[in-house]
Structure 1
Amino acid sequence: MTGVPADALSRTRTNAFRDASPAGRRRGLPLVVLSPGFTWPRSSLTALAEELASRGYVVAGIDHTYETFATTFPDGRVTTCAACELETDDFGGKAVESRAADTSFVLTELVGPRSKWRGGALIDPSRIAMAGQSLGGASVAETMLKDSRVRAGINMDGRMFAPIPVSGLARPFMFLGVRGPHSPGSGEDPTWDRDWRHLTGWKRWLVVTGAVHASFTDYDLLARQIGVDLGGTLSGPRTVEITRGYVRAFFDLHLREKPQALLRKPSPRHPEVMFCSPETKTCG
């Protein structure tokens, strides 16, 4: 990226407000945890977070310390990407295990007896779910296996570094990927196919034609506006619309028990989204 001001992304305007007062009744709000890709900050999922928050979800985005290029703490301390310097076997497996521990810690801080957030009492601890992109998506199943508080999860284009055990994962799970080269959703990475068989509860495998790895984040939308082409054929606003719509439908179904036609079969309003069946090796 050349000719782009260093502060271009930090000056991006959003629809969120700092220190907004939480609204709702005691234990009345479902909670969704969002985990970003490796080295990416939680702000890379802002469009999705704002959508869910506007629909009455509490949304907790995690900056995974020592994995982002820079994490700033409230006291001014800044940590950098120590994980970027690691040379170790099974880095992905160790990373998702670490992220699962991060998520469990955050959940305890939010819904534990002494919540660190002033709106903690509004969260319904029986309605917690998680979504992540790339490494964040790969961490969702591991978190669900380690922490029964997470009722449902979405992996957005993340390779499954830690296999789901033969004993299976019986809670709702959705793969949301792309059809591009080397994507798990394309079938070129065998980890989704391997773990699909061990998802024993409600499950879906969706792929978005014309999307790229970054399409499930803010980056595809923002990159186009500063003249950077990440290779997708869908417009930035369209990728945001699809991500918001299908992720929201999944959580509305499994945390609010609202039927979702969008998740039952392909939609003529979303022809880019295909339902895949690994058993028959078809997407349509």
Structure 2
Amino acid sequence: MPHAPLLSTALAGVLLLPLAAPGTAAAAPAAAFRVLLPAPTGEHPVGTTDLHLVDGTREDVWAGGPRELMVTLWYPARADAGRRAPYLTGAESEFIVRANGLDLPPDVLHRGVRAHARLDVPPARTREGFPLVVLSPGAGHNRTWFTSLAEDLASHGFVVAAVDHAHEASPVEFPDGLRHQEYTPDWALGAANRAEDVSFLLDRLTGADPAWRWSRVIDASRVGMAGHSWGGTATAETLRAEERVDAGINLDGPYYPPVLEEGLDKPLALVQNGQGREWHGTAELWPRLEGWRQWIRLRGSGHSNGIDQGLVTERLGLAEELYSPEQWRDLYGDVGVERGLELVRVYGLAFFDHHLRGGDQPLLEDPEGFHPELVVVDPGAE
């Protein structure tokens, strides 16, 4: 099939279809539209903080000037106390609501979506340090849509860093205001650019001059990465290019050179949609994976079941307003948005526990035996 990392116009950004005329916000407060994200399943409370990072040594390939990133960290916290972190920022929420002409409060995605992490609280104490997992979102997607996956990993003893790659996501609030995606057909360049973003992030989190005051809790010798769509492409490329990243999960993304030509000798999981659409380069890369590998087809899923977007959209009652039935199926299939998200969280935890901590994870030996939707693909048998 012809490939681009977008399956439909609905993927062009956060909740967005092609932009509608601005609407008038409803009079009801955001609290009247409450969405509670799935609770983390681990033993640790979760903390979170945001970082603005500027790489003055590298020119932004899309816009010129220094390369800038917005990053959210989630981490095991010392106590379940303090103020809950908001979801999207007020400005990001207002942009989405007004751009789509929604009859909702402008701050509904800021105050109306309730996550579980506490803002800027101290991390849990650790002797060995917590492994780090980097998350890279799909084209046009804000990093915040990874919150449910990130909070769950953090509750099980991982530090998680989700990156908004500037000019590849929309909308993202930087200190100087909102920025939006600048679309490009050069997906291979974007993947390489994101790999450089991750290298810079690791320098700032684990180097001599850390950007986070509690960076000492990160074990820099155990680093994983997961990405959705374009972020999955970037995950494979980062595994190839960055020796500090040990293992990765590609959530329904394609592959391009140079990783497509060179292959990998590190653990990589391919978690694909359940509708039979195979991304560019998957069959070519598979025989070049010389390390641990697993190809999962998430039965009944669409392109975006690993992120919060579908669950938030459905619980706000916006699914039919924003998507045609065909677009909704492309994105979320018929597995159910909450179940699809749960499966990605369960599989992601097993994968990173095993490959970063050496945990015994029978689920990886027989995914379908634990969850019938996690179908292992055997290309030799097809």
TM-score (norm. length: structure 1): 0.89
Closer/same/farther in 2, CA of residues 266 and 129 from structure 1, 3 Å limit: closer
Contact 1:32/1:128 (<8 A) preserved: yes
Contact 1:164/1:198 (<8 A) preserved: no
1:100 deviates by 0.5
What is residue 201 of structure 1 aligned with on the other side? 291
Contact 1:209/1:274 (<8 A) preserved: yes
Uncovered stretches (5+) of structure 1, i.e. residues with no partner: 181-185
Structure 2 counterpart of 1:129, one-letter code: G
1:58 deviates by 0.4
Q: Does 1:62 align with 2:157?
A: no
Write the distance in 2 (CA, Å) between the matches of 1:101 and 1:152.
17
1:241 deviates by 1.1
What is residue 108 of structure 2 aligned with on the other side? 8
What is residue 274 of structure 2 aligned with on the other side? 179
**Residue deviations 1:135-171 (CA, integer Å, cap 9, x gap):** 0111001111111000000000011133525443111
What is residue 114 of structure 1 aligned with on the other side? 209
Structure 2 counterpart of 1:78, one-letter code: G
**Residue deviations 1:53-112 (CA, integer Å, cap 9, x gap):** 100100001011111123223xx312523522x4xxx51011101111111111110000
- Worse-superposed segment, 272-281 or 18-27: 18-27
**Residue deviations 1:194-241 (CA, integer Å, cap 9, x gap):** 111111000000011111111110012112112305222122221121
Closer/same/farther in 2, CA of residues 210 and 2 from structure 1, 3 Å limit: farther
Contact 1:29/1:123 (<8 A) preserved: yes
- SS for the counterpart of 2:114 is coil
1:1-284 to 2 correspondences below 5 Å: 3-5=102-104, 6-10=106-110, 11-73=112-174, 76-81=175-180, 83-84=182-183, 86=184, 91-180=186-275, 186=276, 188-227=278-317, 228=319, 230-231=328-329, 232-281=333-382
Closer/same/farther in 2, CA of residues 266 and 145 from structure 1, 3 Å limit: closer
**Residue deviations 1:109-143 (CA, integer Å, cap 9, x gap):** 00001111112111111100000101011100111
Write the distance in 1 (CA, Å) between the matches of 2:260 and 2:228.
22
Structure 2 counterpart of 1:161, one-letter code: Y
Write the distance in 2 (CA, Å) between the matches of 1:56 and 1:219.
25
Greater C-alpha Rg:
2
TM-score (norm. length: structure 2): 0.67
> How well do the aligned residues superpose, as a CA RMSD in angstroms?
1.8
**Residue deviations 1:2-30 (CA, integer Å, cap 9, x gap):** 64524433331101111121123255110
- SS for the counterpart of 1:213 is coil
- SS for the counterpart of 2:288 is coil
Structure 2 counterpart of 1:177, one-letter code: Q
Contact 1:178/1:213 (<8 A) preserved: yes
Closer/same/farther in 2, CA of residues 194 and 113 from structure 1, 3 Å limit: same
Number of aligned residue pairs: 270
1:269 deviates by 3.8
Contact 1:163/1:195 (<8 A) preserved: no
Closer/same/farther in 2, CA of residues 171 and 2 from structure 1, 3 Å limit: same
Structure 2 counterpart of 1:135, one-letter code: W
